[in-house]
Chain A
């Protein structure tokens, strides 16, 4: 059935509890759906992207992001799920990711601080909140809302993306409903609608700029900073066009 989205990302979660783990190649979207359904209201097909989520609890796991494994470049969006405060700081300031996931299933072990959050907003990194645990379970709903509101108080509602970690099709909700959920999390009306539409698109474009500049970063060290600065204006240009 159709709910009204025009682009969808399929997620792969990598957990680093085992010592040696390699990044799997993403399943190509054409294998999953023989024919992509059409967006409601237009005649274009739904865009399916691939996304990787890394659950990191140790600073050595971050090296994987800098490695030149070819599979990491096949993913359109890279998200990181930090478990400690230091890792949150590292993810916001230096890691090359598009999204930072905020834990919604348990009470956060650390408080957000303003400096790394401001740096992340400047770099164009988005914070992600999941809403499916809130639909399923009552205690998780409380944690979701309390974590979301504490994030809002620090970042003032900017750079937020609300997404579902749905495993079954009945756990999805339409975009209007997800924007209303954003109101529960403490966002204002306009910010909530942006959290579903424009912020997601900007995160996607951030992933694309990261992909395209990736090859240049590792070969030349000196012009590297110039390349990174060039990707930022492309991001901002894309945001204003989107």
Chain B
């Protein structure tokens, strides 16, 4: 049966500048990744990877990005991700880097991984909580994050920053 097989790469945008979080957009991230692939793998790599390349999901609060590419060229994409140095949007550049978390064949597997990852992050946040109110909020969201049919693509989480 002819079916196009894709790979979904889950990454996290890490930056020192807190303002960088606000400018994470799908177009900016897509451009930065394409630029990195072009620099590392040249015209051939850029052409191969952009066959089915899109940014499927973006969460500006946590900096989580889900990219999609063809199964044949996901190695080119993964090996070029460490070379992303900055994000550009609205004529502003922020230095940052992408940290690859998980590569999966379907969006559902990446979603499961992301929920587990977020749960672990929430646990770590719980340990470094200073306020009783924050503690209660984090505990409540920990208990309520799970995979349901209607749920959108992330566990519940609070913005504790």
Contacts and interface: CB of A to CB of B under 8 A. Distances in A.
Contact of B14 (A3, A38, A176): A3
A contact face: mostly helix, strand, loop, or mixed: helix
Interface residues of B, number: 22
B79 interface: yes
Given A3-B14, A180-B81, A183-B79, A174 B100 contact: yes
A183 B100 CA distance: 15
A106 interface: no
Given A177-B82, A184-B40, 16 more contacts: A3-B99, A4-B99, A40-B120, A131-B82, A135-B83, A135-B85, A170-B15, A171-B97, A172-B97, A173-B99, A176-B99, A177-B81, A177-B99, A178-B82, A180-B75, A180-B78
Interface string B64-101: 00000000000100110111010000000001111111
Nearest to B41: A184
19 contacts: A1-B16, A3-B99, A40-B120, A170-B16, A170-B85, A170-B95, A171-B97, A173-B82, A173-B97, A173-B99, A176-B99, A177-B98, A177-B100, A180-B75, A180-B78, A181-B79, A181-B82, A183-B75, A183-B78
A52 to B, nearest CB: 27
Given A40-B120, A174-B100, A1 B82 contact: no
Contacts of A138: 39
B75 A169 contact: no
B118 to A, nearest CB: 13
B124 interface: yes
B120 A174 contact: no
Contacts of A131: 82
Interface of B: 14-16, 39-40, 75, 78-79, 81-83, 85, 95-101, 120, 124, 127
Nearest to B101: A176
Contacts of B75: 180, 183
Nearest to A183: B79
Contacts of B79: 180-181, 183-184
> Which of A40, A141, A176 lies at the interface centre, i.e. has the most chain B CB atoms within 10 A of its CB?
A176
A173 B101 CA distance: 12
Contacts of A233: none
A236 B39 CA distance: 41
Nearest to A3: B99
A70 interface: no
Nearest to A131: B82
A180 B82 contact: yes
A146 B14 CA distance: 30
Nearest to B85: A135
Contacts of A180: 75, 78-79, 81-82, 100
A164 to B, nearest CB: 10
B99 A174 contact: yes
Contacts of B39: 138
Which residue of B39, B78, B95 has the most chain A CB atoms within 10 A of its CB atom? B78
Contacts of B97: 170-173
B68 to A, nearest CB: 17
A41 interface: yes
